[in-house]
Amino acid sequence: MFDKVLIANRGEIAVRVHRACRDLGIHTVAVHSTADAEAMHTRLADESVCIGPAPASDSYLNIPAIIAAAEITNADAIHPGYGFLSENANFASIVEEHGFTFIGPTPAHISLMGDKVRAKETVRDLGLPVVPGSNGPVADEAEALNVAAEIGYPILVKAVAGGGGRGMKRVDEASGLLEAMAGARAEAQASFGDGTIYLEKCIENPRHIEIQVLADQFGAVVHLGERDCSLQRRHQKILEEAPSSALNETERQAIAARVVEAVRALGYRGVGTLEFLYKGGAFYFIEMNTRIQVEHPVTEMITGIDLVREQIRVAAGAPLGYQQSDIRFNGHAIECRINAENPDTFQPSPGLISSYHTPGGLGVRVDSAVYQDYRVPPYYDSLIGKVIVHGSTRNECLMRLRRALEEYVIAGVETTIPLHLKLLSVPDFANGLYDIHWLERFIGET
């Protein structure tokens, strides 16, 4: 096992990784920007190193500074968290070339899945259902018009290097295609430095259902069930739950078994998530995330398995040590993302947290990196914490969630807590009847 892990991230996920390390008796090194000198991850870690000024491009994305921090602190391994460098194959290679273990899959698997076109081809060849679309990038307008006519409108123009919903445009008829392609290209070029695009059939009003997998270096693969992440705004997840109220047990078992087979054939190691759209009993693969996800706690709550701990263990070369039949699914869990944002306009609301009190009690977990008198900096993502609740049934979970959100006091900055509370009183949500556009309709954005 490692003696010391450097955590190349900030915010709640850096704290989450620190906790898993400490539970394993591993020392931690935090890296931080000048804006994060007083951040919780910086304060909790055994050692901390300032790696640059506030902008992420100069600090949390600064590969030489992170490697130097690992060298001077004599760390054994680097955990990338999510976002920032977590899906950067080049970073994973550099980490390994410098003699550190990258806590994640191989650089080859990261780059394979980071290219959405290659990812789709790969999983389709491994027997998983994918969204119909152009089989590969589309080179020019003429080809795009042909492909779109073949798969049928509406279609989505998507960026090969896409992420976070950027570089994605819906087109309802041929006359809008060329403009959407130009827009998606420009957005993808600006966001990812790669304007390559492809086309996909737009599945109308599906659910977003993803399967969590965990694999060791010896070919053992298990799934930890699904998460339903259909509550989204502008393709960004707001609330996630497990299990999905859309699936029956037969469907759940069938898709999970196919995913496990595909992941085994891929020779994948570590944690991973295969994301699907689900409509009318059919699944359509959209992408695989080769890292820990924001919403991983809902899976932890229903399985009792610490995913970050498992990620560290398998990276250190330990075998999983259990099989699919050992995994028990228990009750229901829901996670609410708490963002420092206006709950109506979603405008970021950084600033000083003047008063802070977290909810507690049975079945309530708060993963956060803020505290009283902490100043939420304006430079980073607005996620400041997550409330995760567990109950023996979905109804119990919903009651407990309302109670927990009502207890949560965060003063001084605006947060999305009022939005979550509002959702809880809507019958469609209470009955689990929602799709990926439901929230946008509810808040009047479509």
Catalytic site positions: 291
Largest Cα separation within the chain, whole Å, is 60
SS3 348: strand
Residue 403 sits at the vertex; the CA angle it makes with 430 and 371, to the nearest 5 degrees, is: 120
- When the beta carbons of 123 and 202 are compared against ligand ADP, the nearer one is 202
* Binds ligand ADP by CB under 6 A, chosen from 165, 219, 304, 378: 165
Which tokens belong to 131? 């969204």
- When the beta carbons of 162 and 412 are compared against ligand ADP, the nearer one is 162
* Binds ligand ADP by CB under 6 A, chosen from 64, 127, 152, 164: 164
Smallest separation, CB 194 to ligand ADP (Å): 13
- When the beta carbons of 275 and 396 are compared against ligand ADP, the nearer one is 275
C-alpha distances (whole Å) from 336 to each of 46, 173, 386, 424 are 29, 36, 6, 11
State phi, psi for 140 to the nearest 5 degrees: -140, 180
Of residues 112 through 151, those in contact with ligand ADP by CB under 6 A are 131
Is the four-CA dihedral 329, 272, 3, 380 of positive or negative sign?
A: negative
Of residues 241 through 280, those in contact with ligand ADP by CB under 6 A are 275, 277
* Binds ligand ADP by CB under 6 A, chosen from 12, 200, 241, 341: 200
Short-list 208, 199, 243, 204, CA closest to 225: 243
Please check whether residue 41 is in contact with residue 369, taking contact to mean a CB–CB distance below 8 angstroms.
yes
Binding mask 319-348 for ligand ADP (x = CB under 6 A): ------------------------------
Please check whether residue 347 is in contact with residue 397, taking contact to mean a CB–CB distance below 8 angstroms.
no
Short-list 109, 124, 103, 96, CA closest to 268: 109
Is the four-CA dihedral 18, 91, 198, 119 of positive or negative sign?
A: negative
Smallest separation, CB 47 to ligand ADP (Å): 34
Note whether 304 binds ligand ADP by CB under 6 A. Answer: no
Is the four-CA dihedral 80, 121, 202, 162 of positive or negative sign?
A: positive
Smallest separation, CB 292 to ligand ADP (Å): 16
Binding mask 347-386 for ligand ADP (x = CB under 6 A): ----------------------------------------
SS3 355: strand
Q: What is the rounded CA–CA span in Å between residue 212 and residue 38?
A: 34
SS3 35: helix
Binding mask 279-298 for ligand ADP (x = CB under 6 A): -------xx-----------
Binding mask 210-239 for ligand ADP (x = CB under 6 A): ----------------------x--x----
* Stretch of residues binding ligand ADP (CB under 6 A), selected from 46-54, 98-106, 198-206, 335-343: 198-206
Smallest separation, CB 275 to ligand ADP (Å): 5
- Binding region for ligand ADP (CB under 6 A): 131, 156, 162-165, 168, 200-203, 206, 208, 232, 235, 275, 277, 286-287, 436
